[in-house]
Amino acid sequence: MVRTKRADFNALAERFGIDPVIARIMVNRGVESEDMEGYLHPTKEQLHDEGTMKDLREAADIIATAIEAGKRIRVVGDYDIDGICSTYILTEGIKRCGGAVDYAIPHRIEDGYGVNPQMMARAAEDGIALVVTCDNGISAFPAMEEAKRFGIDVVITDHHQLHYEEEDGKRIYRMPPALAVVNPHRQDCTYPYKEICGAVVAWKVIMGLYERCGIAKKEAEVFWEEAAFATVGDIMPLLDENRTIVKLGLEKMAHTKNIGLHALMERSGIDRTKLSAYHLGFVLGPCFNATGRLDTATLAMELLQETDPQQAIRRADELIHLNEERKTMTERGVEMALAVIEEEHLEEDSVLVVYVPGLHESLNGIVAGRLKERFYRPTFVLSDGAECVKGSGRSIEGYIMNEKMEECSKYLKYYGGHPMAAGLSMERENVADFRREMNARANLTEEVLTPKIHIDVPMPLSYISKNLVNQLDALEPFGNANEKPCFADKNLRVERVFSIGKEKQYRKLRLVTESGCPMEGLYFGDGKELDEFLSTHDRIMITYYPSVNVFRDVESLQVMITHYQ
């Protein structure tokens, strides 16, 4: 599908000193002409005022009062990238204000998601007077009861959707009885942009705390790195201030003073001068997530807090090793899930609910994501936990997963999440009913279930230049809701094909346009399928993204092929 938004692209190009193609892409992204300068050159002035977030001032005052009284404070986070970064931001920020603070990150298997009654009981034993949650807490009603029993004050900072109940056709939202609840999804919160991650909420709280404690808010800019990391890692839309946060965070991270992050980038072979959102989401992020999946997320937290360079390298190597182990387990998990789908004929369902008893519960979400991409269906992957069946869901455009789970909540013990991702638990005997009910309520049309490729510009390969590629960099960071631009060209002759990769599984093509312009194309999909296609086709149409290849100090243009037919 070709995007067809209209504007005077040549006039916009002249006004902002850019190629008309760049102007067209921004228009396709919904960027108004008056916002284009800020889109091309984001600044911190584009960030929203934290003071507009409901309960933020109250939360800052409660934390500051506890610090002044010398009370012990505990930050309770979560075991994914967002939870780890949130925990780091709050812990270090409170420490900067002189607070007696420690942290606790739930163990995925032993504790489950978020703060729970057992963690409140442990806090009471440790003499904790105030618990501050981050990236969790909005559904922690049992934990709030336990905190009340022990006389522990609680401040919740979270970004997940609130639970609700239907009464007379209206949604009645439920909110835990904490002293302060900072969450932009509150119905009474006027914060102008709701889709921020838990780490950004935590960072905003720290800015409020710094102001309350007489510390320059500018000092909180040190946390841009973690806020950016979490925004990409939690797959937040890279729109509005999220895009600005990631842009600023990447610039700061390229010169990071965090010894742990520096070590992880170095050991991962990342050139920090070319650091991008891709590295956060697909290189560094999985290393952080692997700690919470296979061990304990405190390993990642300790890396962020490390001050000794040699110890940081050892910790970084440990995270990388865990991620390699996770990759191997994931491949096996996908094979197991595909076997279940084939055996139970689940591919006929509109919503995949795949129960894989032998799958490590920490891999449910990754496997669900792989199956979603393969079948293009909303997907839940379930496996056996210690006490019940646990699962994770990954969704597609047009299917709001958290709302559909609300409709089937009678089968669930716990559930929560976003429109595109969710977590849940249930009794084993409810799995079949949950699958049946989710499919009965799916209301998914063939159009929604058909994957779509949105082409920004049908652009001949001959139009590509180094200058255009450099200008495309100004549109970074790319990610959720701000994907890499998609270009297309057709009637291309494939002059030669080379097998590349360690196992010769990928392909390099020498393409020639109808006008005779040559171009190298790289395809990192299934090379054998491409070979089969080319055996019966002498011309090819591709979607692609252009780049500059540097080999032995010689630059040449090339395209990364994403789809073909």
CATH number assigned to the domain comprising residue 415? 3.10.310.30
Residue 317 lies in a domain: no
Per-residue confidence (pLDDT) for residue 386, from 0 to 100: 83
Q: Once rounded to an integer, what is the mean pLDDT over residues 201-221?
A: 98
Residue 281 lies in a domain: no
Q: Which two tokens stand for residue 235?
A: 């797959």
Q: Once rounded to an integer, what is the mean pLDDT over residues 40-62?
A: 97
Last residue of a domain, one of 375, 405, 440: 440
Helix or strand holding residue 461 (H, E): none
Last residue of a domain, one of 408, 440, 472: 440
CA-based nearest residue to 177, from 215, 137, 216: 137
Residue 140 lies in a domain: yes
Residue 77 lies in a domain: yes
Per-residue confidence (pLDDT) for residue 411, from 0 to 100: 97
Last residue of a domain, one of 382, 417, 440: 440
| Cα–Cα distance for residue pair 19/12, rounded to 1 Å | 9
| pLDDT bracket for residue 553 (50, 70, 90) | confident
| Cα–Cα distance for residue pair 287/323, rounded to 1 Å | 5
Residues 429 and 531 in one domain: no
Residues 382 and 472 in one domain: no
| pLDDT bracket for residue 536 (50, 70, 90) | very high
Residue 271 lies in a domain: no
Residues 102 and 247 in one domain: yes
Per-residue confidence (pLDDT) for residue 281, from 0 to 100: 96
Residues 466 and 369 in one domain: no
Per-residue confidence (pLDDT) for residue 164, from 0 to 100: 85
> What's the alpha-carbon Rg for the chain, to the nearest Å?
25
Residues 165 and 223 in one domain: yes
Number of domains in the chain: 3
Q: Of 41-50, 183-192, 408-417, which range is least confident?
A: 408-417
153-to-81, 127, 132, 144, 178 alpha-carbon distances in Å: 26, 12, 9, 9, 7
Q: What is the pLDDT of residues 258-267, one digit of tens each?
A: 999 999 999 9
Q: What is the pLDDT of residues 75-121, one digit of tens each?
A: 999 999 999 999 999 999 999 999 999 999 999 888 888 899 999 99
Q: Which residue has the higher pLDDT, 564 or 165?
A: 564
Per-residue confidence (pLDDT) for residue 552, from 0 to 100: 84
Judge contact between 134 and 202, C-beta under 8 A. yes
Residues 415 and 513 in one domain: no
Secondary structure (3-state) at 141: helix
Judge contact between 90 and 205, C-beta under 8 A. yes
- The rounded mean pLDDT for the chain is 95
Domain CATH number, residue 463: 2.40.50.460
| Cα–Cα distance for residue pair 250/266, rounded to 1 Å | 15
Residues 520 and 542 in one domain: yes
Q: What is the pLDDT of residues 307-330, one digit of tens each?
A: 999 999 999 999 999 999 999 999
Q: Could you tell me what percent of the chain has a pLDDT over 70?
A: 100
Which residues 6+ apart lie within 8 Å of 26 measured at CB? 12, 36, 39, 475
Residue 325 lies in a domain: no
Residues 418 and 461 in one domain: no
| pLDDT bracket for residue 370 (50, 70, 90) | very high
Range of the domain at 151: 50-253
| Cα–Cα distance for residue pair 460/305, rounded to 1 Å | 49
Per-residue confidence (pLDDT) for residue 481, from 0 to 100: 87
Residues 429 and 462 in one domain: no
Q: Could you tell me what percent of the chain has a pLDDT over 90?
A: 91
Q: Once rounded to an integer, what is the mean pLDDT over residues 40-55?
A: 96
| Cα–Cα distance for residue pair 537/180, rounded to 1 Å | 64
Residue 42 lies in a domain: no
Residues 353 and 427 in one domain: yes
Residue 458 lies in a domain: yes
Report whether pLDDT(417) > 90.
no
| Cα–Cα distance for residue pair 368/337, rounded to 1 Å | 9
Q: What are phi and psi of 78, to 5 degrees?
A: -145, 170
Residues 355 and 421 in one domain: yes
Residues 60 and 192 in one domain: yes
| Cα–Cα distance for residue pair 48/301, rounded to 1 Å | 28
Burial bucket for residue 296 (CB in 10 Å: 0-12, 13-18, 19+): middle
| Cα–Cα distance for residue pair 133/471, rounded to 1 Å | 41
Give the pairing of strands 352-355 and 72-76: unpaired
Nearest 5°: CA angle at 497, between 496 and 499? Answer: 150
Judge contact between 303 and 264, C-beta under 8 A. yes
